[in-house]
Amino acid sequence: MTPRVASGFAPALEPRKQRARLGGFNLLPYRARAARRLRRRVFGEMAAAVCIGMAGVALWCAGRAVEREHFEAQRVLMERRLAAWAPQLKEAQRLAGLRDAERDRIARAAERAASRTRTVNLFEALQRLHYDSVRLTSIRSDGYDARLEANALDHAAAMRWLHELERAQRGWTIEVADLQAARDAQRGGLHAGRSLAFSVRIHWPLPPGGRIGAAAASVRHDGREGA
């Protein structure tokens, strides 16, 4: 009978018996190979991802470079075209300035002519009035407004003259100032024996474009007596 060996000192089993005890297959080499294959696959995927990323960045940079070159070429082309068009543009601006100046000149000339016409019409109307008891001392006109300074012997004479002026009006409006105050002063004896001094303001309607230009005739007539 073979003696039994004490516990803890059991002899190592033979390799054949160990494989038999594991079912006839050793898993350790398989696991190592699987781990190596997994590592290689992960490294390969990482390398592929890095390569794809680098390729994308390179394509983006190349696209930006091409785009910049395209924009630069367009800018250079536009600058060349503008340089070629510069004489024509300058000439067009000069002609436009001349047209504007001519249009302004014509407008100012027309406005001056209209102003002179209004002033002439005013003088023609004043010449037709009766000055038996009224004397004009001053006439100021710029073609848009006129101011007449006059003296009358009495209120009735002033009113008659004003009615004549109103009937002779040619598109203007009339405002009378200081007549009532002078009449009251004469009645109160403050200016007894003296003529009534009053003023008449004449307004012409503005043209649709307003006052064009600053050149307007200013006419003064002092010491004018009626014919």
Per domain, the residue ranges of the chain are 120-209+216-220
- Of 171, 176, 144, the C-alpha closest to 161 is 176
pLDDT in tens, 69-82: 999 999 999 998 88
CATH topology of domain 120-209+216-220: Gyrase A; domain 2 (3.30.1360)
Report the mean per-residue pLDDT for the chain: 77
What is the C-alpha separation between 191 and 182, in angstroms, rounded?
A: 8
pLDDT in tens, 2-29: 444 444 444 455 555 554 455 555 556 6
- Of 99, 200, 111, 214, the C-alpha closest to 159 is 200
The whole-number pLDDT of residue 99 equals 93
Is residue 30 very low, low, confident or very high in pLDDT (cuts 50, 70, 90)? confident
